[in-house]
Amino acid sequence: MTDRTIITVDGPASPAAPPRRVTGRALFFDGDTAQPVPVAIGYSDADQTLTFAHRGEGYRWPYADLRALRDQAGDQMVLRLRGDPTMRLLIDTEDDRALIRARAKRLGRFVSHVRRGKLAAWGLAAVASIALIIFVLVPVMADQLADYLPPEGEKALGDATFEQIRTALDDTGIAGLQTCENPTGLAALRKIETRLTDQMDLAAPLTVHVLDHPMINAFALPGGYVVFFRGLIEEAGTPEEIAAVFAHEIGHVVARDPTRIALRSAGSIGVLGLLLGDFAGGALVLFLAEQIIRADYTQEAEAAADTFAYNALLNADLPPSAIATLFERLTDDTHHEASAGILDHLASHPAMGDRIAAARAAEPSGATFRPLLTDTEWVALQAICD
């Protein structure tokens, strides 16, 4: 069946000679029936078309409109006609393939029926919808729902979030990040807590932890969690500075600020991990955990927590200016290397100067305060992770 013939019809071939016609063989698929039809193809160079006949009908495919299917295995060539979706010509001899390649110069042109405009529109719509969901819909819903969450639910959310943060911050990948459990240190911390909360009317008791991590930070979680990092305990100059941060975080707890933030990510965190698998999922969980710790509350929420802290400190006979002295040390002390690659939330806060001034202003001039911890207790607190 490979008996293909080249017939010179219009005289001898020479560069100046008039166009000649050669014929070859191909299998034609008419795009309607599932039956291959062997056809004789003619190369009509005069009008630059490929010609063949089927069922008494003549087909004329201009060379310029011939397209070859891409990424074909083996050495076959399958031709299609630009603008026609289904008709195909299968060229299975190398001679014919060479003849066609020499004539049809646009074989490799891309054929796509997808309109670029439509694609761009959908792409934009997708990005816009996702942004809308993540930055508007979910935060608004979380803020609304947070107010209706019962205390037990808030506690459960806090427990789960605390565990996720411990897991995310752990470098070993075996157990979660350790909490510091030195008994005398815990007793000192407990003393600060009692001094602050004695005057308060809290809905639920606080759960206070110190995490063994060098970050200079503290954060609050739903359900009365107040969590310090070892870095902050070690960086503080006086027990009053710890008390000041403590009071600020209690302010967030009372205002349920962390509940809003945690609820936003709680819905996504586990399922995303499941969907994306360990590699991407793990990185995402770490990212979300960091978001909770960094807790980008609104300016109003921060200001409210500060005001709460000034009052709580004054009620407990403690100096609000301790916030100022801590912040001043952090801003001066930019060379400390303890942050372990994570930006210190407290130190990087933009309105730091304002907050220092506000803390000083909150303290009545000439006021005297009752001491908080003995020297022994303060040493024990600073060594809480040893």
Binding-site ranges for another protein (CB under 8 A): 27, 29-39, 54-55, 69-74, 76, 78, 85-88, 90, 112-114, 116, 118-119, 122-123, 125-126, 129-130, 133-134, 137-138, 141-142, 145, 148-150, 152-157, 160, 263-264, 266-268, 270-272, 274-275, 277
Residue 250 DSSP SS3: helix
- Per the CB < 8 A criterion, the answer to whether 312 and 196 are in contact is yes
Q: Tell the smallest beta-carbon distance from residue 113 to another protein (Å).
A: 7
Taking the least distance from each CB to another protein, the nearer of 132 and 379 is 132
Q: Which is nearer to another protein, 96 or 240 (CB)?
A: 96
Instruction: Give me the sheet containing 49-54, strands edge to edge.
Output: 57-62, 49-54, 37-44, 21-29, 88-91, 77-81, 66-68
Whole-angstrom Cα distance, residue 117 to residue 76?
34
In the complex, least distance from residue 74 CB atom to another protein, rounded to whole angstroms: 4
In this complex, which beta carbon is closest to another protein, that of residue 78 or of residue 358?
A: 78
Q: Are 111 and 82 in contact (CB under 8 A)?
A: yes
As measured in angstroms, the least distance from the Cβ of 214 to another protein is 15
User: Is the sign of the CA dihedral 239, 244, 250, 254 positive or negative?
Assistant: positive
Q: Among residues 135 and 354, whose Cβ is nearest to another protein? A: 135
Residue 276 beta carbon to another protein: minimum distance, rounded to whole angstroms: 8
> Given the complex with another protein, which of 71 and 332 has the nearer CB atom?
71
Q: What angle do CA 195, 199, 203 make, to 5 degrees?
A: 105
Beta bridge pairs of residue 77 = 91
> Cβ(356)–Cβ(161) under 8 Å?
no
**Whole-angstrom Cα distance, residue 127 to residue 120?**
11
> Cβ closer to another protein: 36 or 353?
36
Q: CB of 181: closest distance to another protein in angstroms? A: 26
Q: Write down the least CB distance from residue 119 to another protein, Å.
A: 5
Helix (H) or strand (E) holding 312: helix 299-315
